[in-house]
Structure formats: structure tokens, C-alpha cells
Structure 1
Amino acid sequence: IKYEADNPDLAKNVVQAVLTVFSEQTQLSTMAGADTAHHFIDRQIQEYEVRLRNAEKAKENFMRANLGMLPGQGSNQVEQMHTMTVTLQDAKLILDEAISRKQALKEQFDEALVSNDEEWGVLADQQSTIEDEKIAGLKLRRDDLLIKYTANHPEIAHLNKTIKELEKISEKKRAKQAEAGGLDSSVMTNPYTQSIKIALNEAEANVASIQSRVNVLEKRLELAQSEWNTRLSLETEMQNLNRDYSAIKKNYEQLLSTREQASLSKKVDDQAESLKFKIADAPDKPLLPSSPAKPIMDSIVLLVGVVSGFGVAFLIYLIRPTVMTTAQLRQLTGLPVLGSVSMKINDLELKKNKKEPFKYGLCTFGLIVIYITFMMIDILHIDVSSLVKLLQRIH
């Protein structure tokens, strides 16, 4: 313990008083401070226990609500999305190829229909004539029977039924002919046309299958990208929860460790009869001042004095400028200078000017002597008061 003052006796008395008060109050303040610190730590531990439970519950709820989407769960989703993208591109390429093949088969089928239109038309007319001839023959036979029998005769009823069935068959064939572009199904018995039609049907089925696969892959890729964005958001939120939980847990563990140390300290204090306070070194009065450093301060004072002198002279020169040469006057006024007149100095002023350098040198020498004297006193630790008394005795 130290105290700085202008008087060394005052500094010693202050230190002695502080030691006296400290020795008297140390025991009571130490015990009271230990109890206060122990209660404060207990309150902090209770508060952090509540915060730690809340953080653990928040982590538990978050993990339960986002099971399967947390970091480290599931396979490598980035690699899966890359694989899906490559597979989707391959499927689209296969789809384009299948569509091109379907279009080529359709063009071949249209060309075959056009080239065989006349042949298929004759076959269709023949087929329609056969059906009509059968119906016409049955109707003639029915008319002959009606001459002999009534309309309820079994053979006439059978003929009516057969005629109706043939008419239905004829209507169905005409409908199929309309669907086939005006051609009957018999026209399709051509092997070349059948092979093209079968290939075209297979191509259409293949296109539909590949298109369905492309749609499924696109939906899976969109779902994977959505899950990836969700996973990134959940990962950030999980990191925040873990960071808060780690900070709370770390502080809680530090408080538990501090409480154990405080409990051990309190047990040690309880076993001791009283706190012993001993002064190892009594207060003393220093022989030399602690600050400031006199040699450095004397040097700084000398330097500040010299710099201040030059600064004042320069300031006077700025306030009251003096023209020293004709060139300076010409530059300052901007007018031509025709000539100059020298100053006429009398003998009295000449003697006065000669004494100025001597006075300046004498003052400078005196300043240096004073500086050296103070430096010697500070370095050699000479007691100025004793020196003054000695000079008075000699006088």
C-alpha cells in the first residue's frame, strides 16, 4: 500500500491509518462477503437451471417436430438431386427420340393410306354390297312366305330377326368405316398397313410411358429441392438452438464449479478461529520523491523554453512582417524597385548593436549553467536545504 503526497510524513500517516482500519475490518467484511457471494451464486444457479431446462425442452420439441430433416439424418441429398437431374435429362432425351419415331411412323401410315385408297375403297364397296344382297334376299323370301302364311309364322319371325341382325352388323361396319377415315375394317387386313399401325400404337404407348416417367422425375426433383431448402433453414435454426444451449450449459457448469470452490473456502474459514492479519513491513517514509523524474522534467522545461522562444519570435515575425531585400519588396508589391538607400547608423547605435550578441550569449550561457546545476543536484541527490544552511553558516 502506498500513498503519494507533497509531504512524506503525511504519506506515511495515511498508509498507517489505512492499515489500522483494514486490520480491524477485514474479518467481518470477509465473512459477510463470503455469505453474500454464496447466496448470489445460488440464485444464479437456480436461474440458469430454469433456462437450461427450457433450452433442452426447446431442442427436444424441435427434433421431434422435424424428425428426418435434421442435419446428419438421411442420405446425401445434394448427390441425390444431382442424380435426379441427370436421370431427368436422360429421360427427356429418350422422350424426344420416342416423339420423333412416333411422328415418322405417323407420316408413313398416312402415306400408305393415300397410296392404297383406291384399292381399299373397292374392297369397302364390295363388302357393303354383300351385306345388302343378303338383306335383299331375305326380304324377298319373307315376301313369298307372307303370301302363304301370316306374319306370326315362326319362319317369317326368324327371317325378320335375321334381317334386323344383318342391318345392325351393316350399321356397325359403316361406323367403323367412318372411324377409319371412310374405310372398312377389312381394308386394314393389308400386312404392311397392319405392321405400321402396330408400330405406331407401340410408339404412342412408349411416348405416354416416357412422358409419365418424366413427369414423375420432375415432381421428385421439385420435392427434393423444396426439402433441401427446408433442411437448410432447419439446420440454421438447429445451430442457433445448440449455440444458445451450449452457452447456457457452460455458464451453468462454471457456476457449479464456483459454488464448490466457495463452499470449500467457507469450510476452511469456519475451521479457523479467526482471520489473522499480519503486517509484514511497517510503513516507512521514502528518502526520495516518487515522481516526477527531476532530470527528465528539467530537460523538458529547457526544451519547452527554447521552443517557446523560437515560437514567440516566429509569431512576432508573422504579425509584424519585415522586408529584408529589394527582391522581396518587388515580389510583395508587384511594382518595380528602382533602388535602395542604406541605413545610416551613428556611433551610439553601433555600440548598442555590438553589445546585443554579447548579452544574448551571456543569457544563453547562464541558462545552460542553471540547467547543469539542477541536473547535478538531481543526479547526485544533493539536499538543497542542507546546502543552503551550510552556505548560511559559512557566511
Structure 2
Amino acid sequence: MEQLIEQLLSVLRGIVRWRWAACAVAWIVSVAGWAWVSTLPDVYRSYSRIYVDTDTLLNPLLSGLTVRPNTGYQVRLMAGTLLSRPNVEEVIRRADLDHSVNGEQEMQRLVEDVAKNLSLSGSGQTNLYQLSYTAEDPKLAARVVREAVNLFMERGIGNTARDLKKSQDFIEAQLRSYQARLVEVEKRVEQFKREHVGMLGRDGQDYYARREAARAALESTQLQLQEARQTRDTYRRQSEGTEPMLLFPQGGGARIDPELAQRIAALEKQLDALRLRYTDEHPDVVGTVRLIEELKSRKAASSVDAPAITDTSGPSAYAEQIAVSVANADARVAALETRVAAYAAKYKAMAEAVDRIPEIEREYAALLRDHAVLKSNYDNLIATREKASISQEVEDKTTAVEFRIIDPPTVPIDPAAPNRLLLSTTVLLLGLGAGIGIAFLLSQLRPTVDSIGMLEELTGRGELITVSDHATEASQRARRRGIMSYSLVTVALVGVYTAVMTLALIR
């Protein structure tokens, strides 16, 4: 520890020995530094603080009815891209900074200089932003900040309106395209239905379901026909077991079978009732007409001449009832025979078209599927257009983002830089440090023996005798003058520093 202290004291004695060199270097460095600080131009800083209000009552009220943009994200995006080259060039044009620019290189340097001095700070969480710009001209700094604030607000508000207009134009173009395609598909469906009428299913049934239904209908009708024939045969057997009644005109003439007459009359009444319900092409009507014609033919063939007889008793009620039942049974059998023939022909045609109809149904289903997809997209576009229209109305009549300028840009009075007080103090400290460093360097380059310990270490001899220096009066006066001179020089350096600080304060 004592050796370390001795070394430190040796270093301090060496620095003191070269104190005039240290003082000279401190003066040179300090004066040069203060001269450099005095040449630095004053830089003024203008700033403005903006609050962006993105919370509006319309957002929850119009939820689902309109398309509301993420205004907070848009503002943060604008804040992040404000210092991009296009935006900086726009600020330069608005602030009239480019009137003296000649050439692309000068414009590039100007853009870089403005982008370096223009800053935007703030937080997207608090929506509070600060724009600032530093320049040697305070009016220029205020003008640049004002134009940057205007650009920030315009881009934050105008982007939504432009996006909505572009979206509406795109939706309208898509609607026209889908409408044309929808009309084309509808025409194709209509043409396909005309070309394949009778071969397409109904109520969602495909070919195989319709063929199975036709087969089931045919079998059911055949079963009904068998039942009707059995019923008719039963009525006929009962009719043959009754007493036949013959009617003869009083003056003589043809003999008429009363059963045929009654059956024909009953069938004609039934035919009138059927025509009130169906057309002449209906199977029941066609079968009844055919049966009436057959009975009339049988009646005409069985008519013979007979002497005139007067029937006083008249037909029995039972015979009339049996005749009507037989006539109804014959009509039903005829109708079912016609229906069975129609079902059989239909089933046969469907069985023969087993290779063609499924393909037609697949093509038809594909057409309907294309039509459904286009119709769904078209309806969705219609709904989206209505949302876009309402959104445009809301955007035109309200503001989704409100900008509040808390601190408007003003012309600064006091310069923001350079900090001459700090720079002058730093220069003084650098000068003193440089002087001490030079003194230490010289003491190391030109060392001297300044203690008994160092001498003993150099000579290797111990217990050396020291002789004290006897200062004369003249040497003491010279020493006092040296100390006074050095003190005056040091005080003068501090005085110059005080003067520089005073000038910096009153500047």
C-alpha cells in the first residue's frame, strides 16, 4: 500500500513539474474549443402535439349495418409512414422548400435533411402524437411542422373515404359481371328444360326414384284393375240370375234389351259427371266413352223385330240396381285398363332411357348448381353494396376520426441547440484533461529522481544520506513569483470560461 502511495505521489510530482506545459495545452484546447462553439449556428425547434380520438358512439350503434374501418390501425400506420419519401416530398412542396432546388441530387439531399430533422413521437395506446422539426430559421421550422400536421390529419381522414369509393366501384363492377353471368346461366337452364321436356325430375326426385315410382304406380293400378274385374264379374253373374225384362212398342217394332239400355243410361250419366271434373283426354273419360260405344254396338246388334206387347209390370228395382252396378264396374274396368296402359308405356319409356336420362339429370343438376352459386354470390354482393352505401353516407356525414391539436405549431424564440453552456463546460474539462495528460506524458518521457526511495532503488544502495535544500531569499522570491504567475494564468483561464458562459447566457 505504501509503495502504491509512493508511486502516486511520484506521478503527481512529475505532473506538477510540467505544470506550465499542462497550462499551455489547457489554454490552447479551451480557446480553440470555445471558438468552435461560438461558430455553431443556433438551431430552432418547433413542435405540435395532436390527440387522435378514434372512439365514437356510432361504432356500436352501426355494428353489422356498416363496414367501419379500424381507424386506430390506420392512424398508427400513417404515423409510421409519415417520414417516408413521398410524404416528406409532399411536406417540402407545401412548405415551399423546393423553390431553389436544382436537380435530382439537391432534391435528394433536401429530402434527407428534412427527414433527419423531422420527427414524430407518440404512442398508439394513448393516441397522443408530437411532431417536431429543427432548423436554423425559426419561421421555417414552424411552417414545416404546420404542413406536416395538416398532412397527418388529411391522410388519416381521407384514406377511409378513398377506400370506400374504390370498394363501391369494385362491387358495382362485380355486380354487373355476376348479373350478366346469371342471365346467361338462366337462359341455358331454360333452353335445357325445353330440349329435355318430360325427361327431368320433379320435386327433387332423380331418374331412379321416378322410375321406381312409375313401377309402383303400375303395379298398384294393375292390382286395382284385377279387383275391378272381379267386382264386375260378380255383378254380371248376379245380373244373369235375375228375370230379364223385354220392352216392346205397342205398335210393334224392335225388341230392346232393358239391361243394355239401363247400363248405357247409367254410363252416360257417369260420363257427364266425369266431364265436369276432367278433360276428354283423361283416362276415366276415354274408358267410359269407349264402353258406351261398345254397349251401343251390342244394343244395335241384338235388336230384332217383335210383335207389339205392352209391359204392364215394369222392371224390378233389384234388376235396375244390378244393371247400374254392372255399368259402373264396366266403366271402372275400362278406366283402369287405360291407366294401366299409360303407366306401362311410361315405365317402358323410362326403362329404355336408362342410359340417357341420368346423364341429362346430371347436366341439369350442374346447371342448377352453377345458377345457385352465382345467385348466392349475387345476393351477397347486393347486401355488401348496401353496407358500403350506408358506410359512405356515415363517412360523408360523420367523422370516424377526430384530430385535436393540443399545442399548435409556433415560431420558437429561444434556440433549441446548441447547448453552449454544456459545450463550453465540456471544452474546459477537455482542456484541463488534455493539459494533465500532456504533463503526465512528459513526466514519463523525461523521468527524474524525486525521492530517496527511488534513488536507493536505482543505485541498489541503502541508507543513503539526504542533504536538505537551503533556500535563499532570492530563490524564495523566485518561487513565489512562479506560483503567482501560474495562479494568474489559471485564474485567467477560469475568467475566460466565465466570460464565455456569460455570453452564452445573454446571447
TM over 0.5: no
The TM-score with structure 1 as length reference comes to 0.29
Q: Which has the higher helix share?
A: 1
Answer 1 or 2: higher relative contact order, Cα 8 Å, separation at least 6: 2
Q: Which has the higher strand share?
A: 2
